[in-house]
Amino acid sequence: MNSLYEESRFNLLLSHRPELFSMYEERNIDLVLSGHAHGGQVRIPWIGGVVAPDQGFFPKYTAGKYESGNTAMIVNRGLGNSIIPQRIFNQPEIVEIILTP
């Protein structure tokens, strides 16, 4: 079988779609780097994002690290805007990730 995925190796996926996290876990992806949610665009302190593209209101995956099984996903809030032309309680971010063997 010819595939880019190899179970014996570390598998990193760059994906624009954090809402598909369960699918990444099913495929045993070790680390997913994602964005697209813009941090929920507008955030409510202690609650989280209000709306995100393809996730609707009060989205599950807007920013930070999520883990399930052996899969971890980091969702970056990014620098730009989406539907709403400003960010509210939602600082832009650039994430630095250092992978070590």
For the chain, domain boundaries: 1-101
Q: Which residues pair with 43 in a beta bridge?
A: 49
Residues, the chain, total? 101
Cα dihedral across residues 33, 37, 43, 45: positive or negative? negative
pTM of structure: 0.83
Residue 49's pLDDT is: 87
**Cα 33 off chain centre by:** 6
Residue 83: what pLDDT? Answer: 65
**pLDDT tens, N- to C-terminus, the chain (101 residues):** 456 666 678 999 999 999 999 999 999 999 999 988 777 778 889 888 888 878 888 889 989 999 999 999 999 988 877 666 778 888 888 999 998 87
The dihedrals phi and psi of 29, each to the nearest 5 degrees, come to -75, 130
